[in-house]
Amino acid sequence: MPHLPQQPQLGSPTPHMVVCGDDALAHRLAAELRDVYRERVTLVVPSAREPLRHRVPPPARGLGRATALLG
């Protein structure tokens, strides 16, 4: 088993939220955590290199509503 290089420690890590997904709910949740609760957010989405048959596109109607809701 290969060893991973040690990452430098720059003090205590800054807490943040991680949201996984590329649908309207994930984008809305990430925006709400950032804007309303002032949290640092990392949004993890599928790779663009992944074949389309394995990815689920965001529903256009739901994304439009989330955009309208969040401005």
Q: What is the pLDDT of residue 38?
A: 92
- Whether the model clears a pTM of 0.75, i.e. scores above it, the answer is no
Position 69 scores a pLDDT of: 54
CA dist 15 and 13 (Å) reads 6
**23 backbone φψ class: left, alpha, beta (φ>0; ψ -120 to 50):** beta
Each as own residue / partner, the long-range contacts of residues 53-58 (CB below 8 Å, 24 or more positions apart, any chain) are 55/22, 56/22, 56/23, 57/22, 58/22, 58/23, 58/24, 58/27
Q: What confidence tens digit (pLDDT) does each residue in 18-62 have? A: 999 989 999 999 999 999 999 999 999 987 776 656 555 555 555
Of 12, 30, 21, 14, give the one whose Cα is nearest residue 55.
Answer: 21
